[in-house]
Amino acid sequence: MESSPIRCNTLLPGVARGTALVTSQPICFWGGFDPKTGTITERNHELKGQNVTGTVFVFPTGKGSSTTSAILLESVRCGTAPAAIVNLKTEPILVIGAIIAERLYDRVIPIVDTPELDLTKVIKTGDWIEVNASENEGWIHLRR
């Protein structure tokens, strides 16, 4: 079943599909994520042990480190990055990592945020999602 598409704000344009991996807890890329394997490693995180590779990764926001850009870039290099990222509010530094990844490894990771609904409640882990983000607007298509 496909529900009506959800509009959001494009930070990095592109099209990607994948299985959703959803959390309502912020993600800390530096020290909480292993770019070599794509696994969430943060102690006490509800996604600890889960792998983000190839997923549409839905999380509210990042937790500050100035090294986030380097970790995302390393993850793309290792082939462990998510297919797309959906946030309530994206940390700009994450987008910087993704822009550089696009130029260095020719790999686009669309990033969208501020959806019209709280997606961390609407989307469940395992849902099939397409992110379709153009310069001007982004859409999320959800199939269950």
Question: Do residues 22 and 130 touch, judged by C-beta distance below 8 A?
Answer: no
Q: How is residue 27 written in tokens?
A: 């993600």
Helix (H) or strand (E) holding 65: none
Contact flag: residue 11 with other proteins (CB under 8 A): yes
Q: What's the min distance (Å) between Cβ of 37 and other proteins? A: 13
Tell me the C-alpha distance between 141 and 3, whole Å.
7
Start-to-end CA span in the chain (Å) = 5
Strand partners, 139: 7, 132
Q: Does 40 bind other proteins (CB under 8 A)?
A: no
Name the one range near other proteins by CB under 8 A: 14-22, 98-106, 118-126, 128-136: 98-106
Question: Residue 125's closest CA among 29, 23, 49, 27?
Answer: 23
Q: Which residues pair with 76 in a beta bridge?
A: none
Stretch in the footprint of other proteins (CB under 8 A) among 44-52, 101-109, 123-131, 135-143: 101-109
Active-site annotation holds for 65: yes
Binding-site string for other proteins from residue 58 to residue 97, where x marks contact by CB under 8 A and - marks none:
------x-xxxxxx-xx-xxx-----------x-xx-xxx
State the minimum distance, in angstroms, from the CB of residue 140 to other proteins. Answer: 20
Catalytic site residues?
65
Contact residues toward other proteins (CB under 8 A) are 11, 31, 35, 64, 66-71, 73-74, 76-78, 90, 92-93, 95-97, 99-101, 103-104
